[in-house]
Amino acid sequence: MERVEGRIVAIYETWPLQLALEGPRGRIDVALSAETAVIAGGRAAAPADLRDGARVAVEGETTAPGAMIAARISILAR
């Protein structure tokens, strides 16, 4: 499992939800699944709590260069 930190630069209104992050290695497209856990302040949150500009840590599986499926997304303090 890989961990990537970055800032959300786009949220695509698809199902499942997809995000674009800008991180240290450039842009990464992140797909959520029905099982993706979203955490904010150490507590469970909803995908709807994800916002453009939020700093997040994503843990998941890389599916292609610059693309991954998230198992867990933690919304980090600014």
pLDDT tens column, 3-23? 999 999 999 988 889 999 999
Closest CA to 11 of 41, 43, 38, 44: 38
All structural domains of the chain with their residue ranges: 2-75
> Domain 2-75 - what CATH class?
mainly beta
Contacts of 19 (CB under 8 A, 6+ apart): 8, 10, 11, 12, 29, 30, 32, 50
Tokens standing for residue 2: 């890989």
Tokens standing for residue 15: 């199902």
CA distance 76 to 60: 17
Please measure the distance between the N-terminal and C-terminal CA atoms of the chain and give it in whole angstroms.
25
pLDDT tens profile 29-70 = 999 999 999 999 999 999 999 999 999 999 999 999 999 999
